[in-house]
Structure 1
Amino acid sequence: MVSPADGALSPVTAFALVGALGVGSQWLAWKLRLPAIVLMLLAGLLIGPVLGVFDPARDIGDLMAPMISIAVAIILFEGGLTLNFHSLAGAAEGVRRLVVLGAPLGWLTSALALHFVAGLGWESAAVFGGILIVTGPTVIAPLLRTARLQKRPSALLQWEAIVNDPVGALAAVLAFEVVVVVHADASAAFAIWELLRGIAFAAVIGVAGGWGLARAFERGGVPEYMKVPVLFAALLAGFALADALLHESGLLTVTIMGIWIANAGLPSYEEIRRFKEHATILLVSGVFILLAAGMNLDTLSVLDWRAAVFVVVLILIARPLAVLTALAFTKVPKRERLLVAFTGPRGVVLVAVAGLFGERLVTLGVEDAGRVAPLAFVIVSATVVLHGFTLAPLARLLGLTATGRGGVVLVGGSSFSTALGEALEKLEIPVLVTDTNIIRLRSARNAGLKTFYGDILSESAEYGLDLIGYDRVLALSENDAYNTLVATDLATEYGRTRVFQLRREAQETRRHTLRTTLGGRRLAGGLTFGALNRCMHQGWRIRTTRLSEEFGYRAFREAFPDSVLIGELPERGDLRLFEPREDDSDPKLTTGAQVIHLAPPEAEADAAAASARA
């Protein structure tokens, strides 16, 4: 409730408002296909400096700074959990160059631009330039999914974003410690020793924490229901311990912990990672709303034309110069270098760390450090909007997109899978047929379809297959249990609305009915593998028929009264697969769409007659 005395929100109301706006902004961005961080920024500015409804310093108080620090630590830990070294195949050299050479060069070019273009003093420019190394893993991931890049440039951008997060923070720490030395008249040798000692200590804590957790989980020392709580407690303890020795070195500790756990081969790793992803979405939303609402109009008013010119220089000169220099004389193709060079969206970590160090520099007496936080917001807004709308067109221009339309993975080789794959390929929808039996893939290979011999759930498939261009999975094997396993496992990655499986042979009784949390949506009119197999042996075929004003749904059903509807491809839009209805009625078909259906043998003659009448 709003206090009538001072207009302040209670802490409970403030937290509820932040959560609602943060998650609401992410949902609205998903619906509108817009960068979520921009909507969160607008929401925070609206309730904060514009309307004055929420002021974090007033309504939350001293808890805000430690909350943001802990949230950033958890975000970086989740980033480390994504760094499985197997996924680095083909991008290792480029990532090393981007981290070892690209990060220092990016620091230098950004600092020069901040000083000579934005007008910051060397102290603020050096600290803020280190932070600008960070390219935002929470921002780049959704952009990559939307752009559907090929595997190697996608891996380069993702790894650079995640690995450089703690590197950028530590670069800022180094520069900040130098500023402290200048202002405190401490010896440079002592400051450097303290810095190196803190980094080494943070790395040791991270390795020890990750190793200890992995060993405890492997040996059953922690029950399943306590693994996530223990993980949280351990990362917070490691972060606090390292941070006590050297401010912000805890970011390195938690990132190393996450990387170690990601590569430990834990059987419960997926559950841990998914929970951390959910927590990160909440934390990213909350941190960004808090930081945006904490701005004020006087602070934003310090931005002038030099800030706008600086953003242009940063995007078009500073980052490309650093990246292209770092990747020179590598095996990374020129087109991929250009894409990486001109793609550098910044995110919540940049804003959080910039705000933190900006306040500390102001405390030390660095007057122009008050411009650091507003500049960070401008950079984030400009880069996210720019790359959000230009990454996909730029990738297409350079020929680095995986495909123009989302593909379909068909799990299980059979005559039905081959026929469906051929029909989809004719509609320019990429198809991949997988099976653990190479003989069952023979017909698909003979038809010219792309195939994978192996288990779609195996590590070989996860790290060896380029599945970025595929956004739907159809489990069509003869093994109902395997279909359910595939659909359940891949639903979290592709979305439950995009994972289908055949109806199970035995599911009519309570003894065989599965929980709603298992399996995917039913496909092909609710037919089982056995029923489909019999249909194919009897001469049924997969057909595609275009609907028009003249040849509408009624004419289609007259021509194909017994056909089983599988899906449709509208003139503009993505593939739509049909799920059987309880009343056995047909779904509403779209005029102008290509209808994919399983038709009986006699439908050939009926279709010819119907076409003649039309």
Structure 2
Amino acid sequence: MTGEDILLGIALTVALAAGSQILASRLHVPALIILLPVGFTAGALTDVIHPERLVGPDFPALVSLSVAIILYDAGLGLNLRNLTGRTRSIVVRLLVIGIVVTFFAVSGMGPALFGIPLRVAAMIGVILVVSGPTVVGPLLEYVRPTDRLRRILIWEGTLTDPIGGILGAVVFHAVATSHRIDIGRGYQIGQFLISMGVGLAGGAVGTAILWLTLHKLRLGETLGTLVQLATVILVSAGCDIARDDTGLIAAIFTGLAITNLPGMDMPARRPFLETLVQMIIGLLFISISSAVTPASVVPVLVPSLILIAVLVLVVRPLVAYAAARGSDLTRGEWGFIGWMAPRGIVAASTASAFAASLVEDGLPGAAKILPITFLVIVGTVLLYALTAAPVARKLGVVRSARTRPLVVGGTTWVIALGEALRTAGLDVLMWAGLRRNAKRSARQASNSPTARCSRPPPTPEPAWRA
């Protein structure tokens, strides 16, 4: 490609990513519903935004670093105080049962549905075990389910992504280096544990760096945001160099650790970080979907629709029922959990990276990995976006909009009142007045085991939730 073509491709990709998200916000639908068809159409009509031509063989590395930033941002929103007791047990069971059942269901159906070898079916199965906060989060904001349901689904989606990425790397190496997969061998388990160890070690390094720079040096909001981005990129890249796809574990562990360390006075989440994450999501989905051609989609369209139906109507309800057994979840709560499993950015990115390598190796059927994943993402996001709200209302799990009292003030007794109301099950909005009072009150509330604070917006009189 010429320099002019590259400039045109970059400009067009950015314009489509931003325009699609603006249109989605106006239509009040998840951005993926717009991003994926737009990228697919643009890829069919022009060659300038195709990632392999625009970026070249370095595109998978850029995708990996981009997803690491997204997962770090998601990790910042995970408060361990909200994951206790039975909630933690349900999340763990959803993760374990969901990954196992989904993997074996897709692997078992793949050869019959798509006429592909078992190795390729296993690769698709491990790709589709992930969900993702970038998809689940906007859907839950629109549906507004109860707080417990929201916490369970956000934790599941956020933690499934890095685990699925690591499992994908393990299965990929097994597929690429052997004539058959035997995931029960101790070797494969050892490879997974090594990858987890590298990722956790990288996360520990990232946490130490941010603790020193943010806690000891007391950097402001601008430099604090800059240090966070630099640390995540550095640690994720280092882990990926040491071992493929371990940067995802490092990124989410760093975000999770930093936001839960006692005494950490984190800078406010500046609009720049939010804007960067949104732009990355748009660019990735436009780029990845543009690599899917109409000729590759048509042969797998009908089998993919069957696969989507099985995943939505059989696999996910079965996983939700198994995870909810013996818990205090109501029938409506486990029913809604059984109706919320869209696929997102990690599925798309891992499919793009793994499929390209397997196609280059000449593995039969590998060319079908990306279009199948693309159709499953589009199908699940569209289905859940259109049906999640009415299903939640039918099951009686929608949070009432009138149970949110306003508590004004930032003194100790006001914080205690907000905590008491929060403990009683109310979503409390607190207003502290001056910024210095807001920051002090937010630190007090964040140290409470029952309080849940959001970062104050950049206004003279910020507000947060208790």
Aligned pair in 2 of structure 1 residues 463, 61: CA closer, same or farther (>3 Å)? farther
Among 37, 44, 59, the residue aligned to 1:42: 37
- Residue 214 of structure 1 corresponds to which residue in structure 2? 211
Which amino acid in the other structure matches residue 370 of structure 2?
A
Aligned pair in 2 of structure 1 residues 51, 161: CA closer, same or farther (>3 Å)? same
CA distance in 2, matches of 1:304, 1:37: 19
Which amino acid in the other structure matches residue 70 of structure 2?
I
Q: How does 1:228-239 map to 2 (within 5 A)?
A: 228-239=225-236
Query: Could you state the TM-score of these two structures normalised by the residue count of structure 1?
Result: 0.66
Among 455, 461, 466, the residue aligned to 1:519: 461
- Residue 345 of structure 1 corresponds to which residue in structure 2? 342
Cα shift readout 1:529-587 (whole Å, capped 9, x = no counterpart): xxxxxxxxxxxxxxxxxxxxxxxxxxxxxxxxxxxxxxxxxxxxxxxxxxxxxxxxxxx
- Residue 269 of structure 1 corresponds to which residue in structure 2? 266
**Count of aligned residue pairs for this structure pair:** 450
Is 89-98 or 347-356 further displaced after alignment?
A: 89-98
Cα shift readout 1:443-486 (whole Å, capped 9, x = no counterpart): xxxxxxxxx97365x7x77787543xx8xx695xxx86489959
Among 362, 365, 375, the residue aligned to 1:365: 362
Q: Per-residue deviation at 1:495?
A: 11
Higher relative CO (CA 8 A, sep ≥ 6), structure 1 or 2? 2
Q: Per-residue deviation at 1:27?
A: 1.6
Among 83, 90, 110, the residue aligned to 1:88: 83
CA distance in 1, matches of 2:279, 2:412: 43
SS in 2 for 1:365: coil
SS in 2 for 1:91: helix
**Do residues 258 (structure 1) and 258 (structure 2) align?**
no
SS in 2 for 1:454: helix
- Residue 161 of structure 1 corresponds to which residue in structure 2? 157
SS in 2 for 1:411: strand
Which amino acid in the other structure matches residue 65 of structure 2?
I
Q: How does 1:233-248 map to 2 (within 5 A)?
A: 233-248=230-245
SS in 2 for 1:303: helix
CA distance in 1, matches of 2:436, 2:224: 29
Aligned pair in 2 of structure 1 residues 47, 9: CA closer, same or farther (>3 Å)? farther
CA distance in 2, matches of 1:384, 1:81: 24
Task: Give unpaired runs (5+ residues) of structure 1.
Answer: 1-5, 413-433, 439-451, 497-515, 522-614
CA distance in 2, matches of 1:151, 1:401: 9
Among 67, 72, 75, the residue aligned to 1:77: 72
- Residue 147 of structure 1 corresponds to which residue in structure 2? 143
Q: Per-residue deviation at 1:437?
A: 9.0
Q: Per-residue deviation at 1:268?
A: 4.3
Aligned pair in 2 of structure 1 residues 339, 119: CA closer, same or farther (>3 Å)? farther
Aligned pair in 2 of structure 1 residues 15, 318: CA closer, same or farther (>3 Å)? same
Q: Per-residue deviation at 1:160?
A: 0.5
Q: Which has the larger radius of gyration?
A: 1
Q: How does 1:392-411 map to 2 (within 5 A)?
A: 392-403=389-400, 405=401, 409-411=405-407
CA distance in 1, matches of 2:66, 2:358: 22
Query: Could you state the TM-score of these two structures normalised by the residue count of structure 2?
Result: 0.85
Indicate the RMSD between aligned Cα atoms, in angstroms. 3.5
- Residue 5 of structure 2 corresponds to which residue in structure 1? 10
Is 47-56 or 393-402 further displaced after alignment?
A: 47-56
Aligned pair in 2 of structure 1 residues 195, 483: CA closer, same or farther (>3 Å)? closer
Point out the structure with the larger helix share. 2
Which amino acid in the other structure matches residue 105 of structure 1?
V
Which amino acid in the other structure matches residue 57 of structure 2?
D
**Do residues 171 (structure 1) and 167 (structure 2) align?**
yes
Task: Assess if the C-alpha contact under 8 Å between 2:209 and 2:231 holds in 1.
Answer: no
Aligned pair in 2 of structure 1 residues 273, 321: CA closer, same or farther (>3 Å)? farther
CA distance in 1, matches of 2:328, 2:300: 41
Task: Give unpaired runs (5+ residues) of structure 2.
Answer: 443-452
Q: Per-residue deviation at 1:373?
A: 0.7
Task: Assess if the C-alpha contact under 8 Å between 1:123 and 1:366 holds in 2.
Answer: no
CA distance in 1, matches of 2:70, 2:188: 29
- Residue 128 of structure 1 corresponds to which residue in structure 2? 124
